[in-house]
Structure 1
């Protein structure tokens, strides 16, 4: 079962790298410099709108294979008194090579079209940094183990010294070199590079003096900095305006790029090529066709590899264009042109029957089921205007929602009903047991529906001049207009609920306009194992995706407490209080109902710990060339 796997995965994650210093994380992005807009249902996220036939693939699946067995201790000797039986032959079990990372071969996946995305990793929704392409870049620090979570030094020698709650002091490595390609040509990385990258993002100033408003990490990193002190050629000190428990993780996504390349992109942003991907990371791109093949090769002088860390085992990374036809995708997987399909890191959502057919025909292929963070169903509604400004109407709606039916209709029952925080956040989210005790969540809906109808009548639901119009993206609205309207009208004993479809290009104007909204959608951009900043964007008064304009000073105070603390347990406690408050406030303008389980298919020769936030292609991942399934894999 997926839940069993997820429990095993996190237990294993907590056992790994326990000697690393642990820091609190904040919601930022999945790769160096990237930041998801979280404009729900606007086509900017990693998932498509959920449909009855589409696979709710959102989160990458960690591998569901059993943990490798222990290798016998070669220094062990038999006790003198123990004598082997004369009929037995003592043999030493061979080492389990699948547990030992080995160099060689290449990593391959389906490449999504790189369209409408900037190569400037400081600006915009930089998809290059959010995917495999981000392996070309480095930050001051990087994740060590994402789910745990822990950090380690990258461009910095180690994690920062913190003499107090607002000061972070980093010492730069002296062995970092840029990729050996123009214009850097393998030169050393210096404090001048650090200064230019940080000052550019702090001031948001381009080469021509223009101040731009599209720098990705302005709100999560740079607005919190009170001062920067370039102490010497090796040391830099950040002083924050106030303690910020989510700041360090956000800084980990501040990628470092070459000034000359950045200025080329500024002057001609439409040119997309490998020549404009120049960093200090583990892989150098040699081919980059926006809607085609993209290839990266080892950076032979990568500082982390030179330091002996468990990184960079692939000779090359390949993102291949196999076309949009699902049959071509199936052929690519079955012929081992790609190592896996499905899940959060591919925009194409594959139907369950399609995935099952592949699995049935290929007994060696592994199926992985894990939580799908961004494949969910929510209702975002106006808090201050329109029918939901009436507390009785919105509470009636909240109670009448049949979340189990939503799970079945949207995701074929593959997932769970959920509270304000997706259930995949096992430490941060309210337990399933607690959620089922809350109004609106009981498996037996009788009491909820009785109260919902009473509130609907008392609140004047039948006397509303106009029907309550729920809006959805056009492809999704066709199905929702059938089952969702029937569910709500039936549960409230009315005929005043209807669903209307609008084109994708009209969604953002609808959400940000002056008229009341009621939008059925996935809520996305859950891109970090620490959900504080992402949830704040939906529920705080100034939240960037609080489209319902919900406002509660008590809620804002709780988020301030959660963001400021450096104590993880305190942060989790505050976040649970936030969820409880939202559930007493009829969802607080954003009702998250159910979240799906995503499905992956992969070949066993790929040894990679998939996680919901990032593909660790440049870390402890490798191709087991001794695995029987490796046979017949084509050369790159």
Structure 2
């Protein structure tokens, strides 16, 4: 896939601890992950010498692992368990959402036109589009993968993705309008799409995008955590209902299918067996947020959770020492790497 410089590349920092023993099965090639680091699937068995802890995940990208095909097939299965922030959902219309948990969810369920293969190397890879060409500075021609299918939920019913899906996604974000023509300020990424002049469907697998001026960052926009393509007929059916957070409204082309949802933070997803790559995990389960770090740590050590993000480096160092060979440290992108306050009446 082509490589592009990433204007938005940021430093990766210590973010999470995950279980080594199942990182081989966690190398679920092709699972789109939005904002969480890759972790191992939980169970109560001891480590039996699974894949090495070389798996990494970029937001909106795909987990990869160095395990051999034999190891991957052998370790297929398991359900990974995370915690989720509760009551921080606005809409299941990803084009109009600004809440991180929504982008995280859609990272599992929906592909973008393109997506990040590696933040650290600044590499953008294919999503629904398997490849693209740039014949000049203002033209990008996308070719749709032949083996990408929508989840088998009505009204989309598992049909193949096509060029119209990409075209309508871009056109909707350029316009920032609802189906009835109403301008909606909740199209938060509209400004990033204003460089688009026109979008043409050449054939069922080819889309040509012409820009008003050269924009070296347009692919960055299409690879964004919120830039996930939704089926046009799903938007037609659900646009007025997307604020009613029901799992049947989330229909994507990603490696996981949302099967249950509770706004307080309990979600369940299952493997999409028609995904264009092998997905090793059987599913993903989110439990409501553990606000107490001590409780999170206890749940992680008791194998109730498969990921833990310490707020102190000393805790992470202690875990890595005590569970050497059974857990691993995972680097993860963070949209908010720093936070703080400043009081103007005294020195900072």
Q: TM-score, normalized by length of structure 1?
A: 0.42
Task: Name 2:149's counterpart in structure 1.
Answer: 177
Cα deviation, residue 136, structure 1: 0.2
SS of the aligned residue for 1:288 comes to strand
Task: Name 1:298's counterpart in structure 2.
Answer: 271
Bigger helix share: 1
Aligned 8 A contact 2:17 2:316 in 1 = no
Bigger strand share: 2
1:77-226 correspondence runs (5 A) = 97-98=51-52, 99-100=66-67, 101=72, 102-158=75-131, 160-220=132-192, 222-226=193-197
Whole-Å separation in 2 of the counterparts to 1:215 and 1:292: 24
Aligned 8 A contact 1:25 1:248 in 2 = no
Cα deviation, residue 284, structure 1: 0.1
Q: 1:249 to 1:111 in 2, by over 3 A?
A: same
Whole-Å separation in 1 of the counterparts to 2:204 and 2:78: 39
Q: Of the two, which has the highest radius of gyration?
A: 1
Aligned 8 A contact 1:191 1:233 in 2 = yes
Whole-Å separation in 1 of the counterparts to 2:114 and 2:102: 15
Q: 1:97 to 1:199 in 2, by over 3 A?
A: closer
Task: Name 2:319's counterpart in structure 1.
Answer: 359
Deviates more, 1:224-233 or 1:325-334: 325-334
Task: Name 1:511's counterpart in structure 2.
Answer: none
Aligned 8 A contact 1:26 1:245 in 2 = no
Aligned 8 A contact 1:59 1:374 in 2 = no
Whole-Å separation in 1 of the counterparts to 2:106 and 2:318: 28
SS of the aligned residue for 2:336 comes to strand
Aligned 8 A contact 2:150 2:253 in 1 = yes
Whole-Å separation in 1 of the counterparts to 2:100 and 2:244: 15
SS of the aligned residue for 1:130 comes to helix
Q: 1:264 to 1:337 in 2, by over 3 A?
A: farther
Whole-Å separation in 2 of the counterparts to 1:175 and 1:369: 31
Q: TM-score, normalized by length of structure 2?
A: 0.73
Whole-Å separation in 2 of the counterparts to 1:329 and 1:62: 12
Aligned 8 A contact 1:183 1:260 in 2 = yes
Q: 1:199 to 1:152 in 2, by over 3 A?
A: same
SS of the aligned residue for 1:231 comes to strand
Q: Which one of 236, 247, 250 corresponds to residue 218 of structure 2?
A: 247
Q: Which one of 209, 231, 245 corresponds to residue 202 of structure 2?
A: 231
Cα deviation, residue 237, structure 1: 0.8
Task: Name 1:22's counterpart in structure 2.
Answer: 3
The answer for unaligned runs of 5 or more in structure 2 is 21-48, 53-65
Aligned 8 A contact 1:359 1:367 in 2 = no
Cα deviation, residue 217, structure 1: 2.3
Cα deviation, residue 129, structure 1: 4.8
Aligned 8 A contact 2:94 2:103 in 1 = no
Whole-Å separation in 1 of the counterparts to 2:300 and 2:272: 27
